Structure 1
Amino acid sequence: MYYIYKQIITFFSILALFGCKSKKERSEINNTLKKPNIVLINVDDLGWKDLGFMGSSYYETPNLDKLAQEGMVFTNAYAGAANCAPSRACLISGLNTPRHGVYTVSPSDRGHKKTRKLIPIKNTKHLHDSIYTLPQMLKSGGYITSNFGKWHVGNNPAKQGIDYNVGGSGKGNPGKNGYFSPYNIDFIEDGPEGEYLTDRLTNEAVSFIEKHKDTTFFVYMPFYSVHTPIMGKDSLVEKFKTKKGHEGQNNAEYAAMVASMDENVGKLLNTLKTKGLEENTLVIFTSDNGGIRAISHQDPLRAGKGSYYEGGIRVPLIIKWPNHTKPNTTSLQVVSNLDFYPTLQTIAAPVKKAKVLDGVDLNSLINTNQNITERDLFFHFPVYLQAYKKGKDSSRDPLFRTRPGSVIISGDWKLHQYFEDGAVELYNLKTDLGEAENIAASHPDKVNELLNKLEQWRSDTNAPIPTEINPDYDLKFEQKQSIIKK
């Protein structure tokens, strides 16, 4: 009874306080009472080191560098998978790949059939309708939901919890010459000829925020940039042609795309500020997977998009939540895009919650910088993904970025297991971030420990393992194809 009485007194005290304050002060009080708006920016194929605040001296990202100073930067952040469809499926579902079956961009039998020893597991193209998505959960928490850009986990975001959509469908890239209007993607009207897609998507998001500033909203901003085709604005391309590159970062077209993306992130953040929404908006900035090695190097990380070496799965991450995250802080904690769903679910307090989630709630970390309980990360890829550019991917072999296998990261240790030949690779990321020296032979106990963990996890998640031999496999053909001509 006392508790109810206390709540009534608090309620009327707040009403009285509102009556005594200015309009600006009342707005600030209201922001402390309502749930925060959420802006989730998910850039396509942006590498871990393709930003100024992550150490690049070639790419120019002043707006994101400023955001990094205002929020918390995570240097050990991972995507749920090494390429776009499975990573986005993990983010939107909160489930690891064996639970939703999206392992790659279909089909799963990529590469020449004579070079694949196994019949890969059949891929699931999109999230099944039965999966309770992140936007659906947020709607249950009172949020108006929106998507501006690449959806890729279903043909129509409206059927998966999105109230307002521009440009999102099952398509994974903007198509040939697709960064300039007239466009090739769905759910968007053509703009003036030559309009840049990244600009257009941001303008649509800004209009949405202005219209819904008095509500509680979720803006999902999955830019098609910086995915291929590599197309930047001419003026920016010319600018970067005159700038000296560094350590495999020297592509002027790509740099122009990064610069446009950064400019538009700045425009989005400035809208939040000018509309008085900044203080009560949680902003997450990340990438869906690593960058393409042949376009931009992520040294010291090995390989890139499509590989389960660090260059393919480690991604940039900033979280800014005023009065919650401490500005200009860096976290060394291992986190994953699987963690976004449980974190936002705690904040949204929905009527209906997800029954199963594979990530962890990061609220204690982003609110008080308190370390979360250490856990292992698992990756499962029972399919094939061919080389992006033979001999340039820094992969295990020149024909594939990834062959079927699983990976576990446990503390400083990382183990790769391959299904074709049963081989394992063991690295200590603390001393060998570039995964250059396989130390499996000298650490048999650690190998067995991690293999046992992997096997238990695969059993718990019903992860399928390909075992059927491919009758078309030809060793001599494979060996001939593997030769790299100088």
Structure 2
Amino acid sequence: MNRIAKSLLALVTLSATALGADKPNILYINIDDLGWADVSINGSTFYETPNIDRIAKEGMIFSNGYASAANCAPSRASAISGQNTPRHGVYTVMNSDRGKSKDRKIIPTKNTQHLKQDNLTFGHALKAAGYTTATMGKWHVTKDPLKNGFDINVGGTAAGGPYNGGYHSPFKYPNLEVKEKGTYLTDILTTKAIDFIAKHKDQPFCLYLPYFTVHTPLQAKPELVEKYKKKGGNDAQNNPVYAAMIESLDQNVGRVLDALDANGIAENTLIVFTSDNGGVNVTSLQRPLRGGKGMYYEGGIREPFFIRWPAKIKAGSICHTPVTNLDFYPTFCDAAGTAPPKGKILDGLSLMPLFENKPLADRALYWHFPIYLQAYGKPGALGMKDAQDILFRTRPGSAIRYGDWKLIEYFENGDFELYNLKDDKSESKNLAKSHPEKVQELHTKLKKWRKQINAPVPNQPNPAYQPQS
């Protein structure tokens, strides 16, 4: 290659680097089953999360940040596709007719297990904008993320948990096999993430980091388990294995933050930290929130929800606007200076205005769950006291949050629950009977939304149903 050709090549490379430098790196850390109350910045005195807290303190805390569903598959499908559950039909994991048939009054809507291939993800959108896209950890929403807009896959399959060997090696996940004993899954996923960051630091990347932890089986490092056995907890949080898993998670979040610093790219890296649904409240109660995973009370859908982007977000910011993981897709596109794929419908809004303390357009948040989710354990088990009844975490229905108000509608019998979340974060006082005008207002909005989005409302009686005496 002659000198002129070398000079031209160097100029092209420099121009490409300069163009890429304007785009932020995007790091989306999505934890499995981590509850709102499971981080110390939200009040926990048992769990220790200084690195997760660092993201919150150095960025923006969203005090009303939500998942789009109360369990993992629909929440992840919605975040990755940018579409609410009625558009893709993923309402739960596996079948929708959970629990005993004799206890189900109506026939639930059939569940769709995976996103369709033509439902383009934020990976597709960012890849088209010049990003290198990677997913490392639990994928769950299709069989192969490499067919869904991601260039690199480490560990991701259709499985909903760490079922190819658990958290302690030997284990075998895609591009992640360890035959010898002694490797912790959360640690090695972080090592892979750090290697990716170092390799791609000079061009924009999107790293989706959906750790398997803290999903069951509960497995932790023995020395950390002993630490929390000695520390002791309280009536709401006292499981030493779970606490040890959270500490390992937090340590690895710290390793990722250190890698961004070491590679000089922390300033222009947009970090999202959240969870896919509420905490499993037979393991960790979400007080003062009611309920947990699988319930559409606050403990099942309100999340740790922090975004750090030093170039755009002032450290120590707090936002009280209700937001949801449906907002990530349009936010990523907005931050990257690109549009969603042609014809793509997105149900969220870009959060970029909130980063600058500007308001979002007026809107309500909606949840739709035309399915059943059975209770955890035996009737009266820890955490099930928060449910609507002792048999199911969720019965078919919809929910809306608009302003400070939240309405839940149940399809079996037309019952309503109405809560003022500003005055009653714990959802202890059902105001439906005392505020019929508010029920009517929110129900009208909810029905209009269901019609617009073509949401199925099951109403066919179940012939096997046996009313309780």
Common topology (TM > 0.5)? yes
Please give the secondary structure, in 1, of the residue aligned with 2:171: coil
- Partner of 2:176, secondary structure, is coil
Q: Distance in 2 between matches of 1:74 and 1:312?
A: 16
C-alpha distance in structure 1 between counterparts of 2:172 and 2:280, whole Å: 23
Task: Indicate the residue corresponding to 1:195 in structure 2.
Answer: 183
**Pair 1:206-2:198 in alignment:** no
Distance in structure 2 (CA, Å) of the matches to 1:167 and 1:39: 17
Whole-angstrom CA distance in 1 between matches of 2:337 and 2:165: 43
Deviation per CA, 1:138-185: give whole Å up to 9, x if none.
Answer: 101110000110011101000001101110010001128611112264
SS of corresponding position for 1:111? coil
Say whether 1:395 aligns with 2:384: no
Q: Which amino acid is 2:136 matched to? A: F
Q: Which residue of 452, 458, 474 corresponds with 2:444?
A: 452
Given that residues 42 and 288 in structure 1 are in contact (C-alpha distance below 8 angstroms), is that contact kept between their aligned partners in structure 2? yes
Tell me the CA shift for residue 199 of structure 1: 0.5
In the alignment, the residues of structure 2 paired with residue 31 and residue 38 of structure 1 have an alpha-carbon distance, to the nearest angstrom, of 16
Counterpart pick for 2:84 among 96, 113, 124: 96
CA contact (8 A) 1:78 1:315 kept: yes
Q: 3-state DSSP class of the match of 2:439? A: helix
Kindly tell me: are residues 142 and 462 of structure 1, through their superposed partners in 2, closer, same or farther at Cα, counting changes over 3 Å?
Answer: same
Q: Determine the C-alpha separation between the residues in 2 that align with 1:350 and 1:342.
A: 9
- 3-state SS in 2 of match to 1:279: coil
For residues 203 and 187 of structure 1, what CA distance do their matches in structure 2 show?
A: 13
1:199-348 aligned within 5 A: 199-348=187-336
Q: 1:171·1:185 contact (CA, 8 Å) conserved in 2?
A: no
Deviation per residue, 1:269-327 (Å, 9 max, x gap): 10010011111211110000100111001111001000000000000111111121000
Pairs aligned (count): 451
The answer to whether the aligner puts 1:361 opposite 2:350 as a matched pair is yes
Aligned 8 A contact 1:176 1:229 in 2 = no
Report whether the alignment pairs 1:443 with 2:435: yes
Aligned to 2:8: none
The equivalent residue for 2:5 is none
Report the secondary structure of 1:308's partner residue: coil
Cα shift at 1:215: 1.6
Aligned partners of 1:102 and 1:262: how far apart in 2? 30
Per-residue deviation at 1:266?
Answer: 0.4
SS at 1:209's partner residue?
helix
Counterpart-to-counterpart distance in 1, 2:112 and 2:336: 29
Q: Partner of 2:99: helix, strand, or coil?
A: coil
* Residue 72 (1) aligns with residue 60 (2): yes
How much has 1:33 moved relative to structure 2? 4.5
Partner of 1:173: 161
Aligned counterparts of 1:382 and 1:293: Cα–Cα separation in 2: 22
Alignment check: 8 A CA contact 1:169 1:187 kept: no
Letter in 1 for 2:209: M
Distance, in Å, in 1 between the alignment partners of 2:49 and 2:292 is 21
Per the TM alignment, residue 191 of structure 1 is displaced from its structure 2 partner at its CA by: 4.8
Q: 1:402-431 deviations in whole A, cap 9, x for unaligned?
A: 000000101111111001111111111111
- The Cα of 1:398 is off from its aligned counterpart by 0.7
Distance 2:173 2:413 in 1: 41
- Residues 20 and 203 in structure 2, CA contact (< 8 A), matched pair in contact too: no
Q: Compute the displacement of 1:352 (Å).
A: 5.4
Runs of 4 or more, structure 1, over 6 Å off, are none
Q: Kindly indicate whether the alpha-carbon contact (under 8 Å) linking 1:418 and 1:424 is maintained by their aligned counterparts in 2.
A: yes
Q: What is the letter of the counterpart of residue 461 of structure 1?
A: I
Give me the whole-angstrom Cα distance separating, in 1, the residues matched to 2:98 and 2:449.
26
Partner secondary structure for residue 454 of structure 1: helix
If the length of structure 2 is used for normalisation, what is the TM-score? 0.93
Alpha carbons 1:31, 1:280 under 8 Å: kept:
no
Relative to structure 1, the CA distance from residue 117 to residue 186 in structure 2 (aligned partners, 3 Å threshold; closer, same or farther) is farther
Q: Is the 8 A contact 1:408 1:416 kept in 2?
A: yes
Aligned amino acid, residue 193 of structure 1: K
Render the CA deviation track for 1:327-369: whole Å, top value 9, x for unaligned.
0111111110000111111122336535311001110111x12
2:72 aligns with 84
Matched, 1:431 2:419: no
Between the aligned partners of 2:199 and 2:308, the Cα distance in structure 1 is 23
Q: Is the contact made by 2:36 and 2:304 (CA closer than 8 Å) also made in structure 1?
A: yes
Aligned counterpart, 1:411: 403
Deviations 1:97-149 (CA, angstroms, capped at 9, x unpaired)? 00110000011111111111111100010101111111000101110000110
Partner of 2:466: 474
Instruction: Provide closer, same or farther for how the CA distance between residues 352 and 75 of structure 1 changes in structure 2, counting only shifts above 3 A.
Output: closer
* Contact 1:414/1:427, CA 8 A, preserved across alignment: yes
Is the CA contact (8 Å cut-off) linking 2:20 and 2:204 kept in structure 1?
no
Task: Tell me how far 1:373 sits from its aligned partner.
Answer: 2.6
- 1:99 aligned partner, one-letter code: R
Task: Tell me the amino acid that sits aligned with residue 413 of structure 2.
Answer: D
Contact 1:290–1:313 under 8 Å retained in 2:
yes
Q: Tell me, what secondary structure is at the counterpart of 1:406? A: strand
In structure 1, how many angstroms separate the alpha carbons of the residues matched to 2:389 and 2:172?
A: 35
